[in-house]
């Protein structure tokens, strides 16, 4: 499953690029926002998931020696790089082909 966070932010940035160009401040803000979301999706959340896996292993080892709570941590917090890439591609395609200018062209060519 592609990252919906990546897809949404890339679609927004792509739409702003298509409608206003790269010199518009809205595009710059969206680009920075997108880069932060992509970093979070691929890096920070993934690292937190790996830490949860290590903690779960520690809990399993402690349980063998003495009673400890058996509540497990969620290990699938982040996205794999392939899921983030899938979200980037999906978001770019949606943002590129479904911008307001393109939608207007579709509807005016039909009539």
- pLDDT score at 109: 61
> CA 84: distance to chain centroid?
6
CA distance 66 to 34: 46
Expressed in percent and rounded to 5, the helix, strand and coil fractions of the chain are 75, 0, 25
- pLDDT score at 22: 93
- pLDDT score at 84: 87
- pLDDT score at 7: 93
- pLDDT score at 55: 81
The length of the chain in residues reads 111
Residues of the chain with pLDDT under 50: none
**Would you tell me how many other CB atoms lie within 10 Å of the CB of residue 84?**
25
- pLDDT score at 24: 93
């Amino acid at each position: 499953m592609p990252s919906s966070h990546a897809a949404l932010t890339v679609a927004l940035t792509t739409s702003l690029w298509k409608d206003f160009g790269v010199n518009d401040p809205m595009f710059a803000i969206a680009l920075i926002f997108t880069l932060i979301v992509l970093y979070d999706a691929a890096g920070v959340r993934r690292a937190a998931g790996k830490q949860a896996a290590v903690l779960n292993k520690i809990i399993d080892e402690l349980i063998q020696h003495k009673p400890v709570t058996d509540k497990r941590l969620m290990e699938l917090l982040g996205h794999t790089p392939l899921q983030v890439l899938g979200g980037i591609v999906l978001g770019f395609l949606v943002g590129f082909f479904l911008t307001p200018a393109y939608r207007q062209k579709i509807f005016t060519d039909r009539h």
